[in-house]
Chain A
């Protein structure tokens, strides 16, 4: 079955540590997105990529980095510069050129990151 796989489901980060969240899709979608969700808050866009080897900052990119070396994969690194990283992270994808306008986004199951 086609879908988006995020791993791990739960992740614990120590102060000053970088961690990487995995996002893999087999939907043949060109566009991929990373969102952060805090309790009682909506989805805030961190980074997005519409094509391999290209990505753009979203509204809250500071303290995060991404890469898009393969169409299927869009990993997110939470760096030590992100001072409040505890949140629920969601990866999504959409069809090329659509920006989600015709079919919406397909979401992964999310990664819950906690600072310990």
Chain B
């Protein structure tokens, strides 16, 4: 059974600090990795994708991938209250598409 694991949280971070979200996956052959943000009652929206080892930066967001450790993370710099949401990690592990983690609930404290 292919799995994507995330700490459910809640993860509480002060405004302006760095939020660090982590995800592990089971399939060593996985090639594509995504982070989605989901506000309460809304659908997920894609915020980052990463395909090779290392860091990928987009504005305040940085995705990090370590295939040897089967680990992917998302860093949010200068956290804002509007970043409070559930963050879903998704990995292309299966022939039928993406496998999603259960998500980490992030709370940014003003």
Q: Which one of B12-20, B39-47, B57-65, B76-84 is at the A interface? A: B39-47
Residue in B closest to A91 when the chains form the complex, CB atoms: B43
Task: Determine whether B34 belongs to the interface, using a CB cutoff of 8 Å to chain A.
Answer: yes
B88 touches A33 (CB 8 A): no
Partner of A107, one of B31, B44, B49, B95: B44
Measured CB to CB, the closest approach of chain B to A9, in angstroms, equals 10
CA distance A53 to B4 in the complex (A): 31
A101 touches B31 (CB 8 A): yes
Q: Which one of A11-19, A40-48, A62-70 is at the B interface? A: A40-48
Partner of B88, one of A31, A43, A56: A43
Partner of A100, one of B8, B43, B92: B92
Measured CB to CB, the closest approach of chain A to B45, in angstroms, equals 7
B97 touches A90 (CB 8 A): no
Partner of B44, one of A48, A90, A99: A90
| Given known A43-B100, A94-B97, contact A100–B32 (CB-CB < 8 A) | yes
A42 touches B103 (CB 8 A): yes
Task: Determine whether B102 belongs to the interface, using a CB cutoff of 8 Å to chain A.
Answer: yes
Residue in B closest to A90 when the chains form the complex, CB atoms: B43
B97 touches A107 (CB 8 A): no
Task: Determine whether A79 belongs to the interface, using a CB cutoff of 8 Å to chain B.
Answer: no
Measured CB to CB, the closest approach of chain A to B19, in angstroms, equals 20
B42 touches A100 (CB 8 A): no
CA distance A93 to B34 in the complex (A): 15
Which residues, 57 to 110 on B, are CB-close (under 8 Å) to A?
A: 88, 90, 92, 95-98, 100-103
A104 touches B43 (CB 8 A): no
A residues sitting closer than 8 Å to B (CB atoms) are 31, 33, 35, 40-43, 45, 48, 56, 58, 90, 94, 99-110, 112
Task: Offer 11 A-B interface pairs, CB within 8 angstroms, sorted by A.
Answer: A40-B8, A41-B102, A42-B88, A58-B96, A101-B31, A101-B32, A104-B32, A104-B36, A109-B42, A109-B43, A110-B42
